[in-house]
Amino acid sequence: MEKEPIVGIDLGTTNSEVAFIFDGQPQVIKENDDGIVPSCVGLDPEGKIIVGRQAHNQYIVYPERTVISIKRKMGSDERVPMGKEFYSPQEISAFILKALKERTERVLNRPVRRAVITVPAYFTDAQRQATREAGEIAGLEVVRIINEPTAAALAYGGHTAGHQKILVYDLGGGTFDVSVVSIEAGVVEVMASTGDNHLGGDDFDKMIQEHLNEHLEGVLGLSSVRENRTLQARLRRAAEQAKIELSDRPYARVEEDHIGEVNGRSRHMSMELSRVDFEQDIEEAMAQTLKAVTTALNDAAVRPSELDKVLLVGGSTRIPRIRQLLWERLGQEPHGEVDPELCVTLGAAVQAGIEMGIEVESVLVDITPYTFGTSAVGELYGRPYTNQFVPLIRRNTKLPVTKTEMFYTLYEDQESVAVDVYQGEDQDALKNVKVGNFLFRGLNQKAGARDQGILLTYGLDLDGILKIHAVERATGKEIRGVIENATGRSTPEELDASRDRVAALWGDDDASQDRLRQDTAAGEKLPEEMRRTLEQAEKALDTAATEDREEIINLMEDIRDSLRAGDLRKAEESKQELDEILFYLG
């Protein structure tokens, strides 16, 4: 007899989702969409209930007949207006749950009567009971109410894990909370939780929207823009899209045609936003979240070094600055490979599967096992360094992925740049694995053009193919390159072990070549001629012209890379080129 289905539901402040176990794997229920349903309920012009995207689209234009963020009122006696009637928070939430229930029934082609629903860890008993009542009103038996950080841990395999301590950083559209959870023998316990239920991505959207309003008033000369509901609806959507783009690119351009009229003439908006400015806008809010992280750790009596994992939950955690701040504060790379917006839902489905008595596997995602980046002039351990590793795609990132960063040339009129592609985790690019290099020639780096910089894009697909795209912003000149099987390369440690094993079994002079490679990597026993050339090159850097200095540095790197790899022939070729430059310089 087929078991009665139990679904997992994330009833969120901004968005909600439902998931089910298919063949042992939790999957979000989708209907020609991404499965994300805005937690928005409204009345259409005919007075019929609408839920999700349709209701969300009419909110700014018809706020009097639309309700958002009802989760913040759960557990209270407040009744909210929608049209001519007033509704309890449970009733509004029930409309959302009913929409998710019917969505699942259409996909499964069978009735759905039972659900596991998630709530924030800080929810009171009254708020949890209100959530349960909302489920009952929607025709669902709520078999379990589980905490959102618990669900996130389950999505990452918490039901099968040994003893672990995990920090869950959850920044959604309307709320923020951070929790420390303990997992032992498959039991997940929330040790501490804190946060702010009025901080989230919506606040960041409003900051961008305000910049757009200022542009319309100050640059385009439009008036009364803030009183125009339809215009504000357009700007809000544009602001949200720009925020999303800034997670993957250093710049986002907002283009809105026929945005208004001045003296009978139509005005069009074309405005560029930068990630740097956006991060400055949200810096104070980010500092508040880090204080909450410290509070949660102190309340749980857990040191950062004792954490086994840091999990990112909520769509706003895609903002690169958040990952960077957490890495600096906690000393480890946060995990975000399970879709942050769907993570809690998938965990709820895992719990639903457990309630059904079926064996549930961890969420499967395709990720990159390595970080991919390039080298640039920067700092290493507080000192200037010519080969700082700049990550573009970080390890454990879900595939496929595309990331873009901005770079600038070293000097005016520079005609070319070398784009070296590295795989690894070290801050020193030369200690990572070089998987490719491209030369971008024919640049036009005059003073104004140089300020606009060069956009470098890495795109990594499911087949491990890494595509490189560089664009000079001032001219549009570009280069493209492809690196096959980028994720399939052996690590340096694996290569070392293989060389040693082959040399030992082969039993000839390859072992001496291997020792030379190891000695060179340690900076010892360089061949005398190589050492002399490199020492002369180091001295020449102080007086060489900028273009010669760059070429000298590249050849020095080539020599060292070749020696590390045991390729004496290639090292000798690079040495000869370097000798010619040094001879020319006298």
Altogether, the residues listed in the chain come to a count of: 586
**What pLDDT, on the 0 to 100 scale, is given for residue 364?**
66
**Does residue 180 come out as left (phi exceeding 0), alpha (psi in the -120 to 50 range) or beta?**
beta
Please report the beta strands in 132-213, taking only residues with DSSP state E, as ranges in sequence order: 141-147, 164-171, 176-184, 187-196
The two three-digit tokens of residue 182, written as one number: 């303990």
**What pLDDT, on the 0 to 100 scale, is given for residue 60?**
81
Average pLDDT over every residue of 175-204? 90
Cα–Cα nearest to 339, from 45, 19, 81: 19
Active-site choice (10, 205, 405, 550): 10
Residues 80-132 have pLDDT tens digits of 999 999 999 999 999 999 999 999 999 999 999 999 999 998 888 899 999 99
Q: What band does 575 get if pLDDT is binned at 50, 70 and 90? A: confident
Eight-state DSSP code of residue 432: S
**What pLDDT, on the 0 to 100 scale, is given for residue 525?**
46
**What pLDDT, on the 0 to 100 scale, is given for residue 578?**
85
Residues 425-454 have pLDDT tens digits of 889 999 999 999 999 988 887 777 788 899
Active-site choice (17, 71, 341, 420): 71
**What pLDDT, on the 0 to 100 scale, is given for residue 66?**
95
pTM of the model: 0.76
**What pLDDT, on the 0 to 100 scale, is given for residue 586?**
62
Residues of the chain with CATH 2.60.34.10: 372-488
Across the chain, mean pLDDT equals 88
Average pLDDT over every residue of 273-277? 96
Superfamily of domain 158-337: ATPase, nucleotide binding domain (3.30.420.40)
For the structural domain made of 372-488, what CATH number should be given? 2.60.34.10
202 is catalytic: no
Q: What band does 310 get if pLDDT is binned at 50, 70 and 90? A: very high
Q: What band does 511 get if pLDDT is binned at 50, 70 and 90? A: very low
Residues of the chain with CATH 3.30.420.40: 1-156+340-365, 158-337
148 is catalytic: yes
Q: What band does 521 get if pLDDT is binned at 50, 70 and 90? A: very low
For the structural domain made of 1-156+340-365, what CATH number should be given? 3.30.420.40
| pLDDT higher than threshold 70 for residue 518 | no
Active-site choice (17, 91, 133, 170): 170
**What pLDDT, on the 0 to 100 scale, is given for residue 493?**
62
Average pLDDT over every residue of 468-487? 89
71 is catalytic: yes
Active-site choice (17, 91, 133, 148): 148
Please report the beta strands in 383-492, taking only residues with DSSP state E, as ranges in sequence order: 383-393, 401-407, 417-423, 433-440, 454-460, 466-472, 478-483
461 to each of 135, 233, 346, how far by Cα in Å?
40, 35, 23
Residues 218-266 have pLDDT tens digits of 999 998 899 998 899 899 999 999 999 999 999 999 999 999 888 888 9
